[in-house]
Structures are given as structure tokens and as C-alpha cells.
Amino acid sequence: MTGQIDLPGGAVAGHPVVLMVPGGWFMDRDGYMGGSGTERDLIYRDLANDFLRAGLAVVRYDNRGVHCNEMTMPCCPASSSELEVSRHYLNVCVDADMRQTVTVQTQMDDVEDVWQVIADHPALDAQRILVWAHSEGALNVARLIGRGRIDPQGVQFVGAITESPAAIFRWQTIERYLEHVMDWDQDGDGFITQADVDRHFPDDQIFAAVGISSDVLAAPDNGWNRTLLHELFAAEYETMRTSALAKPDDAPYPEPSPELRVVAASNNWWKQWFVDETSLIDHLASCRCRVVFHLGELDSQSPACRQLAFGEERIKTGMFEIAPRLVLHKGRGHSLRTGEPVMGPMDEAAKASLAAEARELLFTR
């Protein structure tokens, strides 16, 4: 594993520390998730600077098998095609063989290994550790807390779910896709025609990102309506689920491609999104630390309205030793940028509030 420790000025020992746990897939310590064209697109590095200015040490690390990102990788020739750039990125930044060892267990092990580095480091205060986790990273942290493998003083989750992996993935691949396509209904008649598909699909980012082709959405004679789209996406979901459960845990995910060898993880990792029905927030029931969920209203991956509603219902049961706090960020998305569902850079005001809250969580017993 590779990573870094940054220390603020002042005392040479006993620094309270923020452990930053990245999201899933090919995220590294810097967190390239932005479209500004500046270094602020490295959202983890950018936020780490705010933590440092607040007087906190920061530990960041790369997900296993990841060495760089599209901004920090060595440049390729200017004449390179899009495919050549993708190959270059995968060759220099991602170790496909190592990515195939990513499982539910190894992701947790990696977080715990970094936790142990902090505990053993002479410049850091092992009694004052705050874990900041983004997106899927929150799931790995919550599982570790629930199993008593780490015991932070405070936790900040950004872009996290409160519900289970299986529940959010069903929503993402059925209801989210259904609503996304229905947004193409410009005349409001409740039907999506082939003309609507032809008009909107070429510029669509969601379906391109997950490999859904235009053929899948070829409209029937009378067009798509909500019922038909639900049937379509539910059938696609069941096909994915059946395929995932049929493969061995150590198989690569996704399937190898003749053009690009893209290995995101093992099939063990992929299967969790179909079988793990334990809600993330439930892992925190016995946690004696203070946990804050920061949820973006516009988040297209884990929408705040859904996560807030579920989280509030679980808190009402009284199951928690210390009830988590749920914070709604109106007008912000998955990376707490205003007006953007997924990407950064993170709003300056959001970063400032996270840094101030981190200090409060670390310095208040």
C-alpha cells in the first residue's frame, strides 16, 4: 500500500489526526473527481489542506493496486487517441492483478492496516483519530467499527449511504434508471418514443458509464412508459445478479475486454451489491464515537432524501448508543459541490465546515 502523512506546524508529537478513506474503484489518495481543470479537482488533497490549516495531521492512502490518477499520471503524447490515453492510464496507474485481490475483506483489512500505522506513529495521537470517509469508503469504515476493529473518536461520512448495499444498488439500477429515462419525456405524455431515445442517448453520461447500449433502450412501437421501463430494468438487474452469483469469488470484475484490460475488483466485491442486506447505519449501533453523515441533496449515487428518510427511521428505533447526526447539504451533490450530482471540486464553504467540525469532534470528549 502507498500513501502519505502530512503534519501541521507546531508540536512534533501528539497531533490529532484525520484518516481519509477514499471511495471505491480506482480512487487514490488525491481523489480526482472534478471538472474545473485545476488542482482543486483533486478533492481529497484539497480537503486535506483545510484539515492541515485547522491544525490536524492528515493520513491519506491509495486504494490497493492504484498508483495515480488522470491528472497526476505521466503525460502521454499529445497525438494520442482517446483509446490510447485510456490504455496509458490503466498501464501506469492501475495494477490489474492487484485489483483482482480486492474483496469485501481486503478493503477492510487495508483500512485497518493504515489505522495501525497511525497508532504506531510517534508524531500522531492514537487516542484522537477522526475517520473521514467518502462514498463506498464509508461502508468499509462502518463494517470495521461494527466489528470492533477500529475505534475512532469521531467519524465524518460524505456521499455515503445509510441503507444496505443491496438496497441502494437495486434503486440505482431500476428506479434511478427509470426516472432518468422518463426525464426524456419532453412533451409530458408519459411515453418515451424512439425519437426521444435517439435525441437524448448520444449525450447521456449515466448509461455510457455503466455500459448500457442504445439497443437496450430501443423503444417498442408505442414507446416506453413507467411500467415497461420498470420491467426492462428489473430484468436487467436480475440478469446481472444471476451472473454475479454464478461466478467464483476470485473471478475478475468486470469481464475482460479485448480492447482494454479493466479489472476493478474481484467478483467477491461485486456480489456484495446483490447480497448484503445489512444497512450501513446499523453497523454503528454500538459505536461510542460521534458519527456525522453529510448528505448531498443532488447526489445521484446516494440521494439525500432517500438516505435521510432511512437513517431517521433507524435512529427512531433507539438502537444506537450515540445516535448518528444526519446533515443535509441543499443544492450539493456526492462530492458536496453546488449544482453537481457527482463531481467536485468541493465547495469552499463545505470544506470549511468539515474542517471546523473535525476539530470539534477531536477536541471535545
pLDDT along the chain (365 residues), means of 10: 91 90 96 94 98 97 96 87 89 95 98 97 96 98 97 97 98 96 93 95 85 91 96 96 97 86 95 98 96 97 96 98 97 97 96 98 88
- Which secondary-structure segment (H or E) carries 125? strand 124-134
**25 vs 65: CA distance, rounded Å:** 10
Q: Which residue(s) pair with 73 in the sheet?
A: none
Whole-number pLDDT of residue 1: 85
Whole-number pLDDT of residue 212: 87
Q: What is the largest CA-CA distance in the chain?
A: 72
Residue whose C-alpha is closest to residue 34's, from 4, 3, 70, 64: 70
Whole-number pLDDT of residue 206: 84
| Side-chain-facing half-sphere of 148: CA atoms under 13 Å | 1
**84 vs 42: CA distance, rounded Å:** 23
> Considering Cα of 275, then 174, then 141, then 310, what sign does the dihedral take?
negative
Q: What is the model's pTM?
A: 0.94
Whole-number pLDDT of residue 299: 96
Whole-number pLDDT of residue 260: 81
**Residue 293 phi, psi (nearest 5):** -95, 125
**223 vs 6: CA distance, rounded Å:** 56
91-to-26, 75, 342 alpha-carbon distances in Å: 13, 12, 26
**51 vs 97: CA distance, rounded Å:** 34
**244 vs 273: CA distance, rounded Å:** 10
101-to-81, 110, 241, 242, 243 alpha-carbon distances in Å: 30, 12, 21, 22, 19
**125 vs 43: CA distance, rounded Å:** 25
Whole-number pLDDT of residue 211: 80
Whole-number pLDDT of residue 59: 98
Whole-number pLDDT of residue 15: 95
